[in-house]
Amino acid sequence: MTTLSPNGAPRQLGHILDRHAAAQPDATALIAGPQRARISYADLAQLVDDHRDALRRGRLCAGDVLALSCANNIEFVVALFGAARGVVVAPLDPMLPATRVGYLEEYPQYPNGQFGDTVPRGGNAGGGGQPGWVLKCKGWETDPNAYIYFTIQEQNWERTCEAVERPEWADDPAYRTATARQPHIFGIFDEIEKWLADKTKYEAVDVLRKYEVPCAPVLSMKEIAYDPALRASGSVVEVQHKERGIYLTVGNPIKFSDFTTEIIGSPLLGEHTDDVLTELGYDPDAIADMHANGVV
């Protein structure tokens, strides 16, 4: 665990915070959390002040080590900015959250797996309190790709129940919360698979998206290559190569508002040798001699 130096980069962060809080108090400083909550520079500065006052009441001072939970991004950033002002000393150990004692109960290994010397494999599990799994769709018996990935979100549980035509789950004490659902999460997935039995993966996703259920079809390599959405977004692009002809590759995942990346074929070996030599000042006869003597 390391304390923040008042002469290091965190001091600069504190300066940036103070400057923006004064100049643009309502500007967004952070967008954090699953709900995409926004917090302004002024509010962030106030959080730092609140932490400072709490520390003083607890008779803590600069130089003391304060172990803050890093589960909340805002808490961690508040700790950093507070340390930059010399009023909070924060741990910089990135493994601190991993020191939590006990099982990660949001994962299906608990209580369904057998714990020995190692943690059981998680398979297709999601986690973080949002359990997910690969579920069978119509045709799975003969099509190895007839599946979707389905995620159950706590904040969207009621709409998820509506989507899979099990509205009674929404108010059932055995299903109402993530904690209540976890002991029989695979039973829930089994019931959802019954609803999926007469739907292709694409039909299922079309229905579930209307209820904002996080899901996606499992695609084969061929389906990925010819998926119209991936083509339209530039995620998969066709490239013309002088020798290979047309081939598929991955597009630029970074999108810009006023600039479109062009993916082009790679040059051939030695294709631009003469151009480079010409730019360096060699005349055609000298370049021809280099080729004749095997220099290039």
Q: What is the value of pTM for the model shown?
A: 0.57
Instruction: Please tell me the CATH code under which domain 13-92 is placed.
Output: 3.40.50.980
Q: How many CB atoms lie within 10 A of CB 161?
A: 20
> How long a stretch of residues is the chain?
296
Stretch(es) of the chain classified as CATH 3.40.50.980? 13-92
Q: Identity (one letter) of the amino acid at 123? A: G
CA distances from 83 to 1, 20, 64 (A): 14, 17, 11
Stretch(es) of the chain classified as CATH 3.30.1540.10? 132-218
- Which three-class secondary structure string do you get for the chain? CCCCCCCCHHHHHHHHHHHHHHHCCCCEEEEECCCCEEEEHHHHHHHHHHHHHHHHHCCCCECECCCCCCCCHHHHHHHHHHHHCCCCCCCCCCCHHHHCCCCCCCCCHHHHCCCCCCCCCCCCCCECCECEEEEECCCCCCCCCCEEEEECCHHHHHHHHHHCCCHHHHHCCCCCCHHHHHHHHHHHHHHHHHHHCCCCHHHHHHHHHHCCCCEEECCCHHHHHHCHHHHHCCCEEEEEECCCEEEEEECCCCCCCCCCCCCCCCCCCCCCHHHHHHHCCCCHHHHHHHHHCCCC
Which are the contacts of 145, defined by CB distance < 8 A and separation ≥ 6?
201, 218, 219, 220, 223
CA distances from 257 to 1, 244, 254, 260 (A): 42, 32, 10, 8
Q: Hey, which CATH number is domain 132-218, 3.40.50.300, 3.40.50.1000, 3.90.1150.10, 3.30.1540.10?
A: 3.30.1540.10
Which is nearest to 122 in space by CA: 141, 104, 142? 104
> Is the distance from CB of 130 to CB of 153 less than 8 angstroms?
yes
Q: Say whether the peptide bond before residue 253 is cis (omega within 30 degrees of 0).
A: no
- Cα separation of 117 and 105, whole Å? 18
Return the residue matching tokens 């010409």: 278
Return the residue matching tokens 């004490």: 173
pLDDT in tens, the chain (296 residues): 233 334 443 344 444 445 555 665 555 444 444 444 555 666 666 766 666 566 555 555 544 444 444 444 455 555 555 555 554 433 334 444 444 445 566 677 766 677 778 777 778 887 666 889 999 999 999 999 999 999 999 889 999 999 999 999 999 999 998 889 988 889 999 999 999 999 999 999 999 999 999 999 999 999 999 999 899 989 999 999 999 999 999 999 888 888 888 899 999 999 999 999 999 999 999 999 999 999 98
